[in-house]
């Protein structure tokens, strides 16, 4: 008698539900990844414009120029670029949800309003940049570094206005999931920036001034390409940007999100840049500032990867909320968190493997390179946290709760982070001091003096 195999005609409800969840997760992973990967290319390419300029100045071999540009970049980020980038985040809420609700006409008006507002903000920032040296000297910075920083910031002012327009246009494209124009313009600008910067810095002999001008040229090239695409592409007809007084009616709504969005971003960014100013008053300011600037530029460069992941999350969340699909928006959040964790592991492993050669990208100075290698473990801790922070900040922008994000960043970085760091600094230095073998240090000092004396006598030219 043959055995009868019975197969249920209907699968259990739990199995169906599990398969449905898995299928939904995979679909959302594809959507987020489709946006996140190109957005990484966009954000990293834009930030690399500044990094390339810093590298060019570093290879001039003049430490005061390198450290001056380093502190100028930090000053410019704190007082200018971070403000514009943060305020532009309001468009991720407004344009994203508007596009999801299929109110396409408003999207162009919001973008126009943002462009006019951000350009207006550039004027007071430019005035601040003119007095960069005086402001830095108030914070006990090195006079030579402060003078170089002032020159760099003044010649960076044209780039500031280009950056303002660029950030608004990026959000315009991002919230519509129009990726190709952004990727093309950003990567093309970067490839052109390298020879432009090299020619201005080395061939024309303009040094750090040429590096600043090159950034401005590259930002405006990026803006021109994106604007031409809007003007002539059929895909932008429904959301076309038209400059009119009607756009000014959206100012109150824009500022409602722009101010908390700017504060949320700036509170986070400023806490890191504050370290550069602190480094400038250490015993060896040129070395300390150069090394810390390299480390922070590296972490900032990395931050734009999770920031891009967050940008894709912002678009998905805002579009789905605008379309009235809260569950889909929630699924996008889960996917972004998982991607952020995976990215942190990959990048940390990369830094550890290449810790001994990382510094050569910025400087030929062995002292700087070795110092950077010692800082890599701390970099890994920082980038791991940034991976999740960047992704979740994008969710906040997409959902429109920037105000809560601003409060969180204020508390985390300024009420807890910096004070805790100061306390740890005192504890560690006190512990090192208490455990120091002073007899051993005295012996090492005497040996060092004797070695220097021998080398000095060997190199002395005796004229009979």
Joined together, the tokens standing for residue 103 give 């109110």
Pick from 180-194, 274-288, 350-364, 421-435 the range whose average pLDDT is largest.
180-194
- Residue 106, pLDDT > 70, answer yes
pLDDT at 9: 46
Closest Cα partner for 271 from 422, 151, 404?
422
For the CA atoms of 371, 374, 380, 383, what is the dihedral angle to 10 degrees? -20
419 pLDDT tier (thresholds 50, 70, 90): low
Question: For the chain, what percent of residues have pLDDT higher than 90?
Answer: 22
Residue with tokens 């000095």: 456
Q: Does residue 204 belong to any structural domain of this protein?
A: yes
> Span 204-217, mean pLDDT?
93
Residue 246 domain boundaries: 34-434
415: which DSSP letter? I
Q: Does residue 309 belong to any structural domain of this protein?
A: yes
Q: Does residue 109 belong to any structural domain of this protein?
A: yes
- Residue 158, pLDDT > 90, answer yes
312 pLDDT tier (thresholds 50, 70, 90): confident
- Residue 82, pLDDT > 80, answer yes
More confident call, 287 vs 52: 52
More confident call, 75 vs 63: 75
With beta carbons less than 8 A apart as the criterion, state whether 90 and 309 touch. Answer: no
Joined together, the tokens standing for residue 40 give 């990484």
More confident call, 9 vs 357: 357
- Residue 291, pLDDT > 80, answer no
Q: Does residue 14 belong to any structural domain of this protein?
A: no
With beta carbons less than 8 A apart as the criterion, state whether 215 and 156 touch. Answer: yes
pLDDT at 111: 92
Q: Does residue 369 belong to any structural domain of this protein?
A: yes
pLDDT in tens, 251-270: 988 898 888 888 877 877 77
With beta carbons less than 8 A apart as the criterion, state whether 409 and 396 touch. Answer: no
User: Domain tally for the chain?
Assistant: 1
> Span 281-292, mean pLDDT?
62
Q: How far is the C-alpha of 27 from the C-alpha of 32, rounded, in Å? A: 9
436 pLDDT tier (thresholds 50, 70, 90): low
284 pLDDT tier (thresholds 50, 70, 90): low
Q: Does residue 212 belong to any structural domain of this protein?
A: yes
pLDDT at 172: 92
Joined together, the tokens standing for residue 434 give 């208490």
- Residue 210, pLDDT > 90, answer yes
CA distances from 223 to 168, 220, 279 (A): 10, 5, 35
CA angle 456, 462, 464 (to 5 degrees): 170
Q: Does residue 360 belong to any structural domain of this protein?
A: yes
pLDDT at 1: 45
Closest Cα partner for 200 from 100, 57, 394, 104?
57
User: What pTM value is reported for the model?
Assistant: 0.74
CA distances from 326 to 94, 320, 323 (A): 17, 7, 9
3-class SS string, 105-167: HHHHHHHHHHHHHHHHHHHHHHHHHHCHHHHHHHCCCCHHHHHHHHHHHHHHHHHHHHHHHHH
Q: How far is the C-alpha of 102 from the C-alpha of 430, rounded, in Å? A: 61
pLDDT at 366: 77
Q: Does residue 273 belong to any structural domain of this protein?
A: yes
pLDDT at 117: 94
pLDDT at 275: 62
């Amino acid at each position: 008698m043959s055995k009868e195999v019975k197969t249920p005609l209907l699968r259990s409800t739990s199995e169906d539900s599990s398969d449905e969840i898995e299928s939904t997760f995979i679909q959302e992973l594809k959507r987020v990844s489709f946006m996140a990967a190109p957005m990484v290319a966009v954000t990293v390419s834009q930030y690399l414009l500044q990094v390339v300029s810093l590298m060019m100045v570093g290879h001039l071999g003049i430490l005061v120029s390198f450290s001056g540009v380093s502190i100028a970049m930090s000053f410019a980020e704190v007082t200018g670029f971070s403000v514009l980038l943060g305020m532009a985040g309001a468009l991720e809420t407004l344009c994203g949800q508007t596009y999801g609700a299929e109110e396409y006409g408003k999207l162009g008006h919001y973008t126009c309003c943002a462009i006019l507002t951000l350009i207006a903000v550039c004027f007071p920032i430019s005035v601040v940049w003119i007095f960069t040296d005086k402001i830095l000297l108030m914070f006990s910075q090195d006079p030579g570094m402060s003078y170089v920083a002032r020159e760099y910031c003044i010649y960076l002012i044209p780039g500031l206005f280009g950056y303002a327009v660029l950030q608004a246009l990026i959000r315009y494209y991002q919230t519509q999931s129009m990726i190709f124009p952004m990727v093309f313009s950003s990567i093309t600008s970067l490839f052109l920036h390298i020879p432009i910067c090299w020619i201005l810095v080395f061939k024309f002999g303009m040094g750090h001034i040429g590096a600043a001008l090159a950034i401005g040229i590259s930002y405006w090239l990026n803006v021109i390409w994106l604007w031409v695409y809007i003007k002539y592409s059929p895909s932008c007809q429904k959301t076309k940007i038209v400059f009119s007084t009607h756009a000014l009616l959206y100012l109150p709504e824009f500022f409602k999100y722009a101010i908390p969005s700017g504060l949320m971003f700036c509170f986070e960014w400023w806490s890191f840049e504050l370290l550069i100013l602190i480094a400038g008053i250490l015993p060896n300011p040129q070395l300390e500032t150069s090394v810390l600037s390299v480390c922070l530029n590296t972490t900032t460069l990395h931050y734009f990867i999770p920031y891009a992941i967050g940008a894709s999350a912002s678009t998905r969340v805002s579009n789905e909320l605008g379309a009235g699909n809260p569950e889909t928006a929630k699924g996008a959040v889960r996917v972004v968190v998982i991607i952020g964790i995976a990215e942190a592991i990959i990048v940390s492993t990369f830094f550890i493997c290449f810790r001994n050669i990382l510094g050569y990208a910025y400087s030929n100075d062995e002292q700087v390179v070795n110092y950077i290698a010692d800082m890599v473990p701390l970099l890994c801790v920082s980038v791991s946290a940034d991976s999740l922070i960047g992704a979740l900040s994008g969710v906040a922008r997409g959902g429109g709760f920037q105000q809560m994000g601003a409060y969180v960043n204020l508390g985390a970085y300024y009420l807890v982070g910096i004070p805790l760091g100061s306390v740890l600094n005192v504890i560690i230095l006190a512990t090192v001091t208490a455990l120091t073998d002073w007899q051993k240090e005295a012996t090492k000092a005497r040996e060092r003096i004797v070695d220097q004396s021998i080398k000095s006598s060997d190199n002395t030219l005796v004229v009979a």
